[in-house]
Structure 1
Amino acid sequence: MNKVFLSFLLLFLLASCKSVKKHNEQITKLHSVFDLQEDVDKLYSQLKKHHPKLYQYTAKETLDFKFDSLKKSISQPLDSRSFYKKLAPVVAEVKQGHVSVGSVSKWFTKRERKALKKKKFEFYDLDFEYLEGKLWVKDYRGKDSTLVGKEVVNINDEPASKLVETYKTRFASDGYNKTLHDRFISKGFSVFYYRDKGYLDSLKMTFKSKDSLFSKIFRRIEKDEKKEKNDKVIDTVSLEKAKPKKLTKEEKQAIKLAKKKRKKDNRKFGYLGKRKQYTRNFSFKGKDSTVAYMKIRSFSNGPYKKFYKESFEKIESAKTEHFILDLRDNGGGRISEIDYLYSYLTDKDYQFIAESEVKTRTPFLKSFMSNTTPNSIKVAGGLLFPIVATHNLLKTRKRDGKIYYKFNKHNKVKKPNKLNYKGKMYVLINGNSFSASSLLSTHLKANKRATFVGEETGGAYNGTVAGIYKSYQLPTSKVKVRMGLMQIEAPYKQTPDGYGIKPDVEVLQNVKDSQSDFDTELEWVLNDIYKNN
């Protein structure tokens, strides 16, 4: 029996290695002009078939011309990464932020992946910020804190500003606004660099400090390197001193309870281990409790109801007069969470979203029955087809030649939460306020519920195509494209279409404030509160 199992295991590993080799050969070889043009046609066909608002911001004639011009520009064989660089800017012309193009990447064998897990690339410890036309180091989770605040001049001898401007053409906001581009490139610069260059073991960066230039090599290093170095300098005397004392039963119980509480808090607040931050944060500003501050980094991490319930209980108990909701750099998440949060921010009955326009009566089936879906999921989908299809058919209806999907929970009119906040409210927004955070902001803006401070959101006021997604892999190049399948929108509209929620007071952070950790937008709000009181 053991021999049979080992034989199957060996065959599986050989097949896996062969698959990795085949994939890597496929993405690195030169593809014919005809095959790449076929990839373009198949992608455009998928977008026309599944995207319900494909021509919302770019006219059909214009988009037809863009894709046709792309095909004509492919005049010689290209590898997959080079094809991605030509394709992404054209897909960005759709101007729908949830349509994204992923670059192809090298696959690794199981042994290689195991070895890579023991290492980290120092470059990925850098956080960037693009301000005033320059790329800066916002934070560094490595050992050299002196890099923070320095301007990035070159990366492997390429100007950083040129890289940024190139990467900004490879993704889109919702519609015509440009605020998302600088913010999103700040947040995801290292990801775009990886898509552009692929796997690297090292790279050289040149920085500017005042009027002088200096360079640093970032390498792929062992994760435990620091720990090993520290271990070498610890002597036996230190070890004796560090030896833990024997704990009493009561102390052990206290430690156990503390760990249990920390685990619960990490779930409630949505702990982000890599950055040592919480997704959901609540505090009072100043000496008294007249100003409450809630920072939400996303709407997609862990359970949320207990956090909001406890926060608004504190606000109610403290009789808080001013409430600040910080949605800066919040890229979105769950409709259920923003619907629940909004119930605490309004004192009127409300409908959170309108019925969602879709292209098919069975959108959920189209979502997971794709060429990127594992065969096991497809088999499960086949078995569940009658149930899912029936569910989808009952939820969709045709009206005026279009198909609409109904979310019963979010489409119906609901009452506000009994703990709803009635005081003065401010909302902080920027270009990275996208998707779900923009949808929530639309409600607050339309009902004149808050004063908005910051810059225009990257997500559109009139909604976005998201909800559920379809991932499609192009047959030859293996480039993957993700697209939303549902138009998600609040029952409010503004004209002209294609712009985000605009601030009542535009406050923009500059390099000087950023490098001194001065929160320009938040300080404006606090000053406004204290000035008027």
Structure 2
Amino acid sequence: MKKTVLLVLVVLILVSCTSVKTHNEQITKLHPVVDLHEDIDKVYNQLKRHHPKLYQYTPKEVLDFKFDSLKEAIKTPINSREFYKKLAPVVSQVKQGHISLGSANKWYTKKERKQLLKRKFEFYALDFEYLQNKLWVKSTRGKDSTVVGCEVVKIEDDLVSDLIDVYKTRFSSDGYNTTLHNRYVGRRFSSFYYKDKGYVDSLRVTFKNEDSLFIKTLRRIEKKKKSKKKDSTKIVKPVKLTSAEKKANRIAAKKKRKFNRMHGFIKKYKTYTRNFRFVEEAEDVAYMKLRGFTNGNYKRFYKESFAKLDSAKTKYLILDLRDNGGGRIAEIDYLYSHLTNKQYKFIEDSEVNSRIPFLKFLMSNTTPNSIKVLSGLASPVIVVQNLIRTRKQEGKLYYRFRQTRLRGPRPLHFTGDIYVLINGNSFSASSLISTHLKATKRATFVGEETGGAYNGTVAGIYKLYELPNTKLKIRMGMMQIEAPQKQSPDGYGVMPDIEISSSIIDRNLKKDPEFDWVIKDIERKR
């Protein structure tokens, strides 16, 4: 028995090493032109099969021309990374923000991954922001804070302004919006640079502080190990806790875990997805910062928060959706039920391209075989559920979510004035709830146009498809998610009532002009 187990483990290790080697050879070799053309056709065919609003912003004849022109332009073999650089700008012409194309990155063996985890890259500790057509260091999770507030001018021999112009062509917002491009390219700059250049051990970066330039070389450095040596001069006897103290510690730890789940603790940044506080001691003004709708026990958070608002008889609520990339429909529906005072229908039935969208999603070529087997076993249930929820109307298929039902506000819904802070990174679900609040004139919007479209977006569930030759992966939404309300012209986000954009001076002085405007407006109302 032991020999059998050992043999299985050896086989698995050999298969894993072979697959890593095969993948790395595949993405670095020069692909024949015919294979590159095949992958272009595969991408376009996948979009046609699964994306229900493919030609919403770009007409079919224009998109056909873009893909055909790309094929004509590729006349010599290239590797997967270079192919990504050519294909991504064409895919972005669909102008649907939930479509993304990934670059082909190197795979690592278990041993290599273990070694990589022992080191950290100083460049990745920097958080960037693109303001006033320049890339700035917004903050750092490293120890060197001297670069915070500085402009990034060059990386190696590349001007950052040139890199930004290129990276903006490799992704899209919903429709004709531009605010997402500026916000997103800054927020994800490190990721775009990695897709562009691949793995590097060091980077020579030129920074600008006021009128002076300086250069820093950012490296991969060893993570500090926790010292196991004990200082013999400081012998600390272990404190023996009483039963009552042990119980108190367990209760405190449990309470902390509960708090972290409810607020959605983000370990990487040591912060929370959901935050709530009163701005003034009088509890007249409350501030709710939501960084996303993705993790944690949201129902408990909103129940407790709105109970506090009701108890304090709060008059003003500031809802901060800046840099909120979206998340669960169920969460924003639940939140909205605490903000509205009328009956509402949260979303329309979702247009889809298949009667069994969830099975199509589960059976993608990137889905692990174990999941495919389980999906196959559960397919009778999945198919029946999909067929029950899918209907055909005027030649189109629609899937019905439970959020399409008419419903009323929660008993403890907020009745005071609402201010919503938005920017270009307010995307997807945060744009959807903003559409409701804007259309019903329930809130005053401050900031800049949302990156997500007012009239909805194609999201819901996603198809992740790997191209057979270059191994690039394309991700696309499969369901049109939209509120009942619409605006004209199509292709733009939720517009602010008060347009304000922060500057780098505001950042360096730790000022928040959008928030400050709201506080002044509340004082004026008083």
Q: TM over 0.5: same fold?
A: yes
Report the Cα distance in structure 2 between the residues aligned to 1:217 and 1:303, rounded to whole angstroms.
Answer: 42
1:120 aligns with 2:113: no
Report how far residue 376 of structure 1 moved: 1.6
Structure 2 letter corresponding to 1:394 = I
Mark the runs of 5 or more structure 1 residues left unpaired by the alignment: none
Distance 1:54 1:486 in 2: 11
Matched ranges for 1:252-263 at <5 A = 252-263=246-257
Q: Does 1:14 align with 2:14?
A: yes
After superposition, give the CA deviation of every residue in 1:384-417 in whole Å (9 maximum; x if it has no partner): 221111111111111001000011x201001110
Task: Determine the structure 2 residue equivalent to 1:293.
Answer: 287
User: Match for residue 463 of structure 1?
Assistant: 456
Counterparts of 1:244 and 1:128, CA distance in 2: 45
Partners of 1:81 and 1:69 in 2: CA distance: 19
Point out the more displaced range, 375-384 or 94-103: 375-384
The two structures have a TM-score, normalised by structure 2, of 0.98
Work out the CA distance in 1 between the residues paired with 2:274 and 2:119.
30
Within-5 A mapping of 1:27-426: 27-225=27-225, 227=226, 236-237=232-233, 239-240=234-235, 245-407=239-401, 409-426=402-419
Q: Distance in 1 between matches of 2:218 and 2:248?
A: 43
Measured against aligned partners, the alpha-carbon deviations of 1:442-481 in whole angstroms (never above 9, x if no partner) come to 0000000000000000000000000000011111110000
Letter matched to residue 218 of structure 1: L
Q: Which amino acid aligns with 1:382?
A: G
Q: What whole-Å deviation, never above 9, does each CA across 1:89-117 have from its counterpart, x for those lacking one?
A: 11000000000001110001111112222
Between 128-137 and 199-208, the greater mean CA deviation after superposition: 199-208
Of 416, 421, 432, the match for 1:428: 421
1:66-96: per-residue Cα shift (whole Å, max 9, x none)? 1111111111110000000000011000000
For the pair 1:445 / 2:434, whether they are aligned, the reply is no
Q: Distance in 1 between matches of 2:255 and 2:174?
A: 41
Equivalences for 1:491-510 in 2 at 5 Å? 491-510=484-503
Deviations along 1:7-35, one digit per CA (max 9) or x if unpaired, are 12111111110110000000000001111
C-alpha separation in 2, matches of 1:373 and 1:441: 33
SS of 1:147's equivalent?
Answer: coil
Task: Say which SS state the counterpart of residue 96 (structure 1) adopts.
Answer: coil
- Tell me how far apart the structure 2 counterparts of residues 15 and 163 of structure 1 sit (CA, whole Å): 39
Residue 235 to residue 4, structure 1, CA distance change in 2 (3 Å): closer
1:306-359 deviation line (CA, Å, top 9, x unaligned): 100000000000000111100000000000000000000011111100000000
> What's 2:519 paired with?
526
In structure 1, how many angstroms separate the alpha carbons of the residues matched to 2:69 and 2:50?
Answer: 22
AA paired with 1:29? K
Question: Counterparts of 1:18 and 1:437 in 2: how far apart (Å)?
Answer: 43
State how far apart, in whole Å, the 2-side matches of 1:209 and 1:63 are.
44
TM-score by length of structure 1 reads: 0.97
- Measure the CA separation in 1 of the matches of 2:420 and 2:209: 35
Cα shift readout 1:210-242 (whole Å, capped 9, x = no counterpart) = 2222222222222225x55xx88x8543x33x6
Structure-1 separation of matches of 2:387 and 2:443: 39
The CA RMSD measured in Å over matched residues stands at 1.3
Query: Aligned in 2, Cα 1:146/1:243: closer, same or farther, shift over 3 Å?
Result: farther
Cα distance, 1:262 vs. partner?
A: 0.7
Q: State the one-letter code of the partner of 2:192.
A: F
Aligned-pair CA distance for 1:530: 0.9
- Residue identity in the other structure for 1:96: Q
What SS does the aligned partner of 1:145 have? coil
Aligned-partner residue type, residue 318 of structure 2: I
AA aligned opposite 1:98: H
User: 1:25 corresponds to which residue?
Assistant: 25
Instruction: In structure 2, give the amino acid aligned to 1:86.
Output: K
Letter of the 1:224 counterpart: K
Distance 1:167 1:73 in 2: 20
Structure 1 residue 158, shift from structure 2 partner: 1.1
Paired amino acid for 1:309: K
Aligned to 2:507: 514
Number of residues of Structure 1 aligned to a counterpart in Structure 2: 526
Question: How many Å separate the matches in 1 of 2:243 and 2:126?
Answer: 44
SS in 2 for 1:90: helix
Match of 2:313, as an amino acid?
K
Matched residues in 1 for 2:74 and 2:92: separation?
Answer: 18
SS in 1 for 2:191: helix
- Is the partner of 2:188 in helix, strand or coil? helix
Q: Residue type of the partner of 1:460?
A: A
2:337 and 2:291 map into 1 onto residues whose CA distance is 19
1:474 correspondence with 2:467:
yes
Cα deviations by residue, 1:251-278 (Å, 9 ceiling, x for unpaired):
3332222111111100000001110111
Moved more, 486-495 or 374-383: 374-383
Unaligned stretches of 5+ residues in structure 2: none
Cα distance in 2 between the residues matched to 1:54 and 1:156: 39
Give the Å deviation of 1:243.
5.6
Please give the alpha-carbon distance, in whole angstroms, between the structure 2 residues aligned to 1:210 and 1:293: 34
> Structure 2 CA distance, aligned partners of 1:394 and 1:159?
55
Shift of the alpha carbon at 1:247? 3.3
Shift of 1:286: 2.0
Distance (whole Å) between structure 2 residues aligned to residue 245 and residue 382 of structure 1? 56
Instruction: Summarize the alignment of residues 482-497 of structure 1 with structure 2, pairs less than 5 Å apart.
Output: 482-497=475-490
- Runs of 4+ aligned structure 1 residues displaced above 4 Å come to none
* Deviation at residue 244 of structure 1 after TM alignment: 5.3
